[in-house]
């Protein structure tokens, strides 16, 4: 017999060998021991998580002549026939290529006959969601009143495409994606038994790249073993996947933190010359920044010398995550990545939102009270009635809600312009709204009954964040945005004419100090 791929050679043959699906294995074993088997099962989950393998193990356990409690013996003729795929009593059907009503009718005719060698006839229908509507209707009658000797196992990666009438007649099991640790553990066992010398760094790379699929991990290990002549290193895996080494990602993050856009663009050019997948490089950056953010928020042991504030990390992560998604569909993904990297280097120059709000609020109160600007004298701003804004180096007084609402309405054209500069889509939603109410740092934006869809779009976290950041740069204190539908509201078209800014407005919008 010729060479057999690792994922086929090391396919689980007993329930105890199924990785990461303990909830499924335990239930099936208990059902076998108690004799309380359903007549139809639905196995759902991502590819490579063990659905078909578990179905075949169940078929062996049902028909094994020397079963060891719930485990098949894998020695008797029935077990060997099912493992080899030669048993007449276990039928595997690929619904992707046998999806019509004629195939299901033929199945119904054959299932009337008793098993040839075993006690049960088991039908495993893979990718069952690919069946046509007519085929599902024909299968439904069979699932309602199957013969006592027939058991169905339906497997699918898309359970939402299976009709509810079918779902309600099956006992459903959801197979979860495997963790990198679970995949790594199984790869160690396979490599040791297959005689593959597997470097630890390569093992972790394969486990992460598999995306929860053990079959994909074994296929990648097989490919890497062939590439390295039974020796698998991290460099081999990077070459096969087109990914970059971890040090290159760390180097890019250091350049990002230091604001060296030229170094980042040079690195992208070098990776493109080497034929690396730039989207995978972007994904690596996103994953690394995510780890840094989690460490910073949760107080981890270290952040690799990265000095970005968590707000700045969050903004850089948002920019690069968006770029990674856009690169999927872009005709020139390299340009998308380069623009995102340049934009991300600019966030280090942006102070914390708390500090911006506090500084602008102090400037505003000093100007309104006739006092001097910071650095120009020792005058103190008046203390207006109102609540205190959180954050910053102290507690800053914020005017009452009524005053704030009126000021937001006066500044609304400026706010719209700033939002449009940040995001045209968000501007298109915001322009249909009106400032309706202020409640303790929360701005309620009102939409008309005909703009309910736009209200929902603006309420999405990333869209709302754009408006909140603009508000925090223009108005004192921290802000949260909420949306509501107000009956009878008719949105006005924004005025196109430019508004002149006085010194106070310019300082609040752009920062700085008045020198003269």
Instruction: Give mean pLDDT, residues 106-120.
Output: 83
**Chain segment 153-182, per-residue pLDDT in tens:** 999 999 999 999 999 999 999 999 999 999
Question: pTM score > 0.85 for this model?
Answer: no
**CATH number, domain with residue 496:** 3.30.300.180
Do residues 66 and 151 share a domain? yes
Do residues 290 and 418 share a domain? no
Residue 243: the pLDDT is: 80
**CATH number, domain with residue 320:** 1.20.272.10
Residue 361: inside a domain, yes or no?
Answer: no
- For residues 242 and 240, what is the distance between their CA atoms, to the nearest angstrom? 6
Do residues 18 and 136 share a domain? yes
Last residue of a domain, one of 192, 210, 241: 241
**Chain segment 463-510, per-residue pLDDT in tens:** 899 899 888 888 877 889 999 988 776 655 544 444 444 555 555 445
Beta bridge partners of 94: 126
Last residue of a domain, one of 174, 209, 230: 174
Contact 19, 187 (CB under 8 A): no
Return all residues near 134 (Cβ < 8 A) that are at least 6 apart.
100, 101
Q: How do beta strands 90-94 and 171-174 pair? A: unpaired
Q: Looking at the predicted structure, is the pLDDT value of residue 376 above 70?
A: no
Do residues 49 and 93 share a domain? yes
Residue 75: inside a domain, yes or no?
Answer: yes
- For residues 469 and 426, what is the distance between their CA atoms, to the nearest angstrom? 13
Q: H-helix or E-strand containing 286?
A: helix 278-298
Residue 506: the pLDDT is: 52
Do residues 12 and 89 share a domain? yes
Q: Looking at the predicted structure, is the pLDDT value of residue 391 above 70?
A: no
Residue 358: inside a domain, yes or no?
Answer: no
Q: Looking at the predicted structure, is the pLDDT value of residue 244 above 90?
A: no
Question: Quick one: 199 exposed, middle or buried, by C-beta within 10 A (0-12, 13-18, 19+)?
Answer: middle
- Which range, of 15-24, 93-102, 153-162, 471-480, averages the lowest pLDDT? 471-480
Give the confidence band of 306 by pLDDT, cuts at 50, 70, 90. low
- Which range, of 45-49, 277-281, 379-383, 462-466, averages the lowest pLDDT? 379-383
Do residues 67 and 209 share a domain? no
- For residues 201 and 191, what is the distance between their CA atoms, to the nearest angstrom? 14
Do residues 409 and 341 share a domain? no
Sort residue 512 into left (φ over 0), alpha (ψ -120 to 50) or beta. left
Contact 72, 61 (CB under 8 A): yes
The three-point CA angle 319-262-347 to 5° equals: 35
- For residues 15 and 229, what is the distance between their CA atoms, to the nearest angstrom? 32
Last residue of a domain, one of 241, 259, 284: 241
The three-class DSSP label of residue 254 is: helix
Contact 212, 181 (CB under 8 A): no
- For residues 361 and 395, what is the distance between their CA atoms, to the nearest angstrom? 11
Residue 213: the pLDDT is: 93
Classify each residue of 239-267 as buried b or exposed e, where b means 16 or more C-beta atoms within 10 Å of its C-beta. Answer: bbbebbeeebbbebbebbbebebebbbeb
Residue 67: inside a domain, yes or no?
Answer: yes
**CATH number, domain with residue 235:** 1.10.8.60
Do residues 296 and 406 share a domain? no
**CATH number, domain with residue 82:** 3.40.50.300
Total domains, the chain: 4
How far is CA 1 from each of CA 83, 135, 219, 336, 349, rounded to the nearest angstrom?
Answer: 16, 38, 19, 50, 65
Do residues 438 and 466 share a domain? yes
Contact 472, 447 (CB under 8 A): no
Residue 257: the pLDDT is: 82
Domain carrying residue 266? 246-349
The three-class DSSP label of residue 195 is: coil
Classify each residue of 478-516 as buried b or exposed e, where b means 16 or more C-beta atoms within 10 Å of its C-beta. Answer: bbebebeeeeebeeeeeeeeeeeeeeebebbbeeeebee
The three-point CA angle 77-82-86 to 5° equals: 90
Residue 15: inside a domain, yes or no?
Answer: yes
Do residues 145 and 30 share a domain? yes
Residue 378: inside a domain, yes or no?
Answer: no
Residue 16: inside a domain, yes or no?
Answer: yes
Nearest Cα residue to 15 out of 90, 74, 66: 74
Residue 388: the pLDDT is: 44
- For residues 476 and 365, what is the distance between their CA atoms, to the nearest angstrom? 10
The three-class DSSP label of residue 449 is: helix
- For residues 94 and 17, what is the distance between their CA atoms, to the nearest angstrom? 24
Residue 120: inside a domain, yes or no?
Answer: yes
How far is CA 507 from each of CA 264, 368, 467, rounded to the nearest angstrom?
Answer: 33, 13, 19
Do residues 225 and 98 share a domain? no
**Chain segment 247-281, per-residue pLDDT in tens:** 888 889 888 888 888 999 999 999 888 888 898 88
Average pLDDT of the chain, as a whole number: 82
Do residues 222 and 259 share a domain? no
Q: Is 339 or 476 the better-scoring residue by pLDDT?
A: 339
Instruction: Give mean pLDDT, residues 186-194.
Output: 92
């Amino acid at each position: 017999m010729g060479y057999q791929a690792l994922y086929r050679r090391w396919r689980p043959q007993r329930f105890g060998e199924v990785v990461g699906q303990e909830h499924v294995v335990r239930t099936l074993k208990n059902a076998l021991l108690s004799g309380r088997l359903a007549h139809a099962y639905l196995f759902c989950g991502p590819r490579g998580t063990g659905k078909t393998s578990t179905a075949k193990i169940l078929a062996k356990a049902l028909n094994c002549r020397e079963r060891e409690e719930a485990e098949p013996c894998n020695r008797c003729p029935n077990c060997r026939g099912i493992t080899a795929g030669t048993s007449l009593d276990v039928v595997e059907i690929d619904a992707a290529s046998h999806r019509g009503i004629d195939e299901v009718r033929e199945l119904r005719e054959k299932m009337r006959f008793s098993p040839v060698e075993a006690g049960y006839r088991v039908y495993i229908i893979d990718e069952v969601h690919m069946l046509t509507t007519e085929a599902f209707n024909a299968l439904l009658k069979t699932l309602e009143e199957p013969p006592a000797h027939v058991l169905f196992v339906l497997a699918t990666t898309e359970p939402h495409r299976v009709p509810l009438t079918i779902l309600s007649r099956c006992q459903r099991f959801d197979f979860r994606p495997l963790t990198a640790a679970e995949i790594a553990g199984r790869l160690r066992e396979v490599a040791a038994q297959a005689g593959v010398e597997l470097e630890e760094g390569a093992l972790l790379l394969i486990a992460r790249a598999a995306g929860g699929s053990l079959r994909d991990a074994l296929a990648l290990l097989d490919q890497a073993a062939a590439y390295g002549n039974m020796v698998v290193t991290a460099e081999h895996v990077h070459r096969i996947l087109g990914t970059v080494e971890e040090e290159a990602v760390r180097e890019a993050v250091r350049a990002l933190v230091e604001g060296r856009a030229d170094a980042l663009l040079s690195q992208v050019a070098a990776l493109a010359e080497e034929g690396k997948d730039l989207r995978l490089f972007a994904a690596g950056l996103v994953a690394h920044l995510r780890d840094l953010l989690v460490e910073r928020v949760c107080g981890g042991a270290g952040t690799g010398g990265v000095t970005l504030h968590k707000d700045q990390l969050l903004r850089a992560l948002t920019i690069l995550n968006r770029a990674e998604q856009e690169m999927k569909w872009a005709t020139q993904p390299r340009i998308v990545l380069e623009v995102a990297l340049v934009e991300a280097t600019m966030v280090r120059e942006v102070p914390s939102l708390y500090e911006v709000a506090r500084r602008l609020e102090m400037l505003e109160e000093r100007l309104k009270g006739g006092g001097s600007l910071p650095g120009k004298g020792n005058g103190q701003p008046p203390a207006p009635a109102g609540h205190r804004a959180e954050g910053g180096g102290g507690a800053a007084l914020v005017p009452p809600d009524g005053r704030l609402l009126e000021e937001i309405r006066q500044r609304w054209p400026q706010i719209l312009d700033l939002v449009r500069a940040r995001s045209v889509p968000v501007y298109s939603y915001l322009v249909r709204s009106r400032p309706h109410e202020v409640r303790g740092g929360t701005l309620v934006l009102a939409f008309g009954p005909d703009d309910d869809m736009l209200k929902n779009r603006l309420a999405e976290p990333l869209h709302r964040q754009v408006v909140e950041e603009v508000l925090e740069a223009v108005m004192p204190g921290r802000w949260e945005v909420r949306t509501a539908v107000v009956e009878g509201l008719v949105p006005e078209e924004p005025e196109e004419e430019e508004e002149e800014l006085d010194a106070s407005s310019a300082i609040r919008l752009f920062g700085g100090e008045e020198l003269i």
